[in-house]
Structure 1
Amino acid sequence: MTADILRDKFLAFFKVRKHKIVDSDSLVPKDDPTVLFTPAGMNQFKKEFMGFNSGFKRAATAQRCLRTDDLEKVGKTSAHHTFFEMLGNFSFGDYFKKEAISWAWEFLTKELSIDPEKLWVSVYQDDDEAYNIWKDQVKIPEIKIVRLGDQDNFWPAEAKTKGPNGPCGPCSEIFYDFGADVGCGEKICDPSCSCGRFVEIWNLVFTQFNRKDDGSLEPLPNKNIDTGMGLERLAAVMQGKQNNFETELFQPIIKEIIRGLSPQGTVPEKKLLYAIADHLRAVVFSIFDGILPSNEGRGYVIRKIIRKASLHLMGLGIDKKPFLYRLVPIVAEIMHKPYPELTNRREEIARIILAEEKSFIDVLGSSEELLRVKFSEFIDNPNPEAVGKTAFLL
Structure 2
Amino acid sequence: MRASEIREIFLKFFEKAGHMRVASSSLIPFSDPTLYFTNAGMVQFKDVFLGAEKRAYTRATTSQKCMRVSGKHNDLENVGHTPRHHTFFEMLGNFSFGDYFKEEAIAFAWEFLTKTLKLPKEKLIVTVFEKDDDAGKLWLKHVSKEQIFRLGEKDNFWSMGDTGPCGPCSEILWDFGSGKITKKDLEGDRFMEIWNLVFMQFNRGADGVMTPLPKPSVDTGMGLERLACVLQGKKNNWETDLFVPIIEKIRSIVNLPPLPQGENESTVAMRVIADHVRAASFLIADGLLPSNEGRGYVLRRILRRAIRYGRKLGMHKPFFAAVAEIVMKEMGKAYPELLQHKETVEKVLTNEEERFLETLDRGLNILEEEFKQLQKAKQSIVPGEIVFKLYDTYGFPKDLTELIAREKKFDLDEKGFE
- State the TM-score, normalized to the length of structure 2: 0.83
Which of 285, 288, 292 in structure 2 is aligned with 1:288?
A: 285
- Inter-partner Cα distance in structure 2 for 1:365 and 1:241: 38
Distance in 2 between the 1:390 and 1:106 partners?
57
CA deviation map 1:5-38 (0-9, x unaligned): 1111111111111111111000010311111100
Q: Return the offset for 1:165.
A: 2.1
Give the aligned partner of residue 343 of structure 1: 339
Partner of 2:175: 177
**Deviation of the 1:221 alpha carbon:** 1.2
* Contact 2:285 2:337 (8 Å CA) reproduced: no
Aligned-residue CA RMSD (Å): 2.3
Contact 1:4 1:337 in 2 (8 A): no
| 1:98 corresponds to 2:85 | no
Q: 1: CA distance between counterparts of 2:333 and 2:147?
A: 37
Q: Deviations along 1:359-386, whole A, 9 cap, x unmatched?
A: 00112245367789999xxxxxxxxxxx
* 1:88 paired residue among 82, 93, 96: 93
Contact map agreement 2:285 2:344 (CA 8 A) in 1:
no
The residue aligned with 1:183 is none
Q: Verify the 8 A CA contact 1:235 1:247 in the aligned structure 2.
A: yes
How far apart are the structure 2 equivalents of 1:352 and 1:214? 41
The reply on whether 1:33 has 2:33 as its aligned counterpart is yes
Question: Which residue does the alignment assign to 2:56?
Answer: 55
Does the alignment pair 1:246 with 2:239? Answer: yes
Which segments of 5 or more consecutive residues in structure 1 lack a partner in the other structure?
Answer: 158-162, 181-185, 376-386
Structure 1's consecutive aligned runs of 4 or more residues displaced over 3 angstroms after TM superposition are 186-192, 262-268, 365-375, 387-392
In the alignment, the residues of structure 1 paired with residue 240 and residue 152 of structure 2 have an alpha-carbon distance, to the nearest angstrom, of 32
Q: Using the alignment, how far apart are the partners of 1:41 and 1:388 within structure 2?
A: 39
Q: Identify if the C-alpha distance between structure 1 residues 360 and 128 changes in structure 2 by more than 3 Å, giving closer, same or farther.
A: same
Question: Which of 152, 166, 190 is residue 155 of structure 2 equivalent to?
Answer: 152
Instruction: Measure the CA separation in 1 of the matches of 2:32 and 2:369.
Output: 47
2:335 aligned counterpart, secondary structure:
coil
- Does residue 227 (structure 1) correspond to residue 242 (structure 2)? The answer is no
Alignment partners' CA distance in 2, 1:346 and 1:277: 17
Contact 2:259–2:267 (Cα < 8 Å) also in 1: no
Distance of 1:265 and 1:253 partners within structure 2: 14
2:3 maps to a residue whose letter is A
In the TM superposition, 1:218-367 aligns within 5 A as 218-262=211-255, 269-318=266-315, 320-367=316-363
Question: 2:204 aligned with 1:199, yes or no?
Answer: no
Q: Matches of 2:138 and 2:187 in 1, distance apart?
A: 26
Q: Is the 8 A contact 1:118 1:176 kept in 2?
A: yes
Whole-angstrom distance in 2 between the partners of 1:371 and 1:258: 28
> Which AA in structure 2 matches 1:174?
I
Name the CA distance, whole Å, in 1 between partners of 2:384 and 2:14.
Answer: 60
Could you tell me how far 1:316 is from its partner in structure 2?
Answer: 2.1
Q: Which amino acid aligns with 1:251?
A: V
Matched, 1:6 2:9: no
Amino acid at match of 1:41: G
- Equivalent residues of 1:322, 1:358 under 8 A apart: yes
Q: Distance in 2 between matches of 1:269 and 1:341?
A: 31
Aligned to 1:67: 68
Of all paired residues, the percent bearing the same amino acid is 51
Structure 1 residues 101 and 391: CA distance shift in structure 2, 3 A: closer
Q: Distance in 1 between matches of 2:20 and 2:235?
A: 33
* CA drift at 1:219: 1.1
Structure 2: distance between partners of 1:393 and 1:214: 39
| Stretch of structure 1 that moved more, 275-284 or 214-223 | 214-223
Alpha-carbon displacement from aligned partner over 1:238-284 (angstroms, at most 9, x marks no partner): 10011111011110111111112245899763222211111111000
Question: CA 1:338/1:191 → structure 2, altered by over 3 Å: closer, same or farther?
Answer: farther
Distance in 2 between residues matched to 1:305 and 1:262, nearest whole Å: 23
Distance 2:21 2:195 in 1: 19
Match of 1:21 in 2: 21
Deviates further, 362-371 or 168-177: 362-371
**2:118 equivalent in structure 1:** 113
Counterpart Cα distance in 1 of 2:283 and 2:323: 15
Q: Which runs of 5+ in 2 are unaligned?
A: 372-382, 391-418
* Structure 2: distance between partners of 1:372 and 1:299: 29
Q: Secondary structure at the match of 2:186?
A: coil
Q: Helix, strand or coil for the counterpart of 1:193?
A: helix
Secondary structure of 1:236's match?
Answer: helix
CA contact (8 A) 1:146 1:191 kept: no
Which residue in 1 is equivalent to 2:162? 164
Query: Which deviates more from structure 2 when the two are superposed, residues 40-49 or residues 253-262?
Result: 253-262
Q: Helix, strand or coil: the match of 1:287? A: helix
Q: Is the 8 A contact 1:22 1:61 kept in 2?
A: yes
**229-238 vs 215-224, which deviates more?**
215-224
Distance 1:214 1:393, change over 3 A: closer
Q: 1:33-52, CA deviations, whole angstroms, 9 ceiling, x for partnerless residues?
A: 11110000000001110123
